[in-house]
Structure 1
């Protein structure tokens, strides 16, 4: 397990050199927000950070419903029973095992792995909702209800699997041979590209993704990834 701090953002990485899966802790003035909970091992690290900072964990926010972002939720809920857990209104259906597509959505088959365990959810959110300093940004494509979280003050973008940095930066759906899994689990690469362009317009100064390292001043690399996705 590896913990990397960038100002008030803590990145916790499981298996950083083999199959990196990230969880994030966002430090607010009086509380902590956790983003994604892919493996049980994250829970003990979050407990350490909470004790060190002497701040409670008020919410767990999930970027999307895939197993590598939610499988640690049962243990997290056991250890933090008062912490509210939220996911987008759309991906709540996936969490509940409903994979039917809406009439307004592309009818591509939903892909990727989903947890067979019960994933406790307390609330849902939608595009443009504000959770403390974090704004919910709809980023569909990887799943129909994927979201990112953006802090307008620091311009930190926590993008889930809208982008990957493992194997080279890429928009969700663009195959990277040394780490192909986000691409293989993407529902609709064209929708993902549209979301990537929207995220680019936010002009983030820090990009945090579901798999691999943080990127500072990421605009040039994001644009490179978008051009590659356009060519695809």
Structure 2
């Protein structure tokens, strides 16, 4: 478990949190979101302590997609996306104005999700569901988007599409994206920043920097596998003799 992390999450970029099982990826994300007490120190957003914010202020400035599947009953995709505006309304006023309805529709268009928005969320495929939930998060208009294993239920092609989409949206909106993932090879073949948790340490940098330093090979190599820098993949070690 990593007990001391000092790293930034730049706006306009995806920062991928990687590390061996048990390294503390999900714990770090939940601490950043003030879903559990910090072991020490503070997580700040635009200089403000996230844990000290009111729940409503934190909900306005951060959005989250966790691994757990969301049960929204019989709501359609569009109705789920509209829920993203809830933190910006009073408890008794859930009506969207024209600008908010426009934001919902433009976000659905940007994520190629308009055609599925009228379907019930429970009836969508995993990839379609993830696009709807991402649209809901973006409609919140957050400064920070946090995702915990967002590709966990997706097939290979959808995983690549999702990471590319996150990078595009982050750049377009100046959005800071913090994402934990087990897709180490995929993360290393993108332009994402990387935060590597391993052995109680946290190391951040570009994929090229962490590969060149040997940090990736040390964190994930085993007796039977090694990291190939040229292909940025893990391969079986040659048998002795």
TM-score, scaled to structure 2:
0.34
Q: Which has the higher contact order (CA 8 A, sep 6+)?
A: 2
Is the radius of gyration larger for structure 1 or structure 2? 2
Higher strand share: 1
Higher helix share: 2
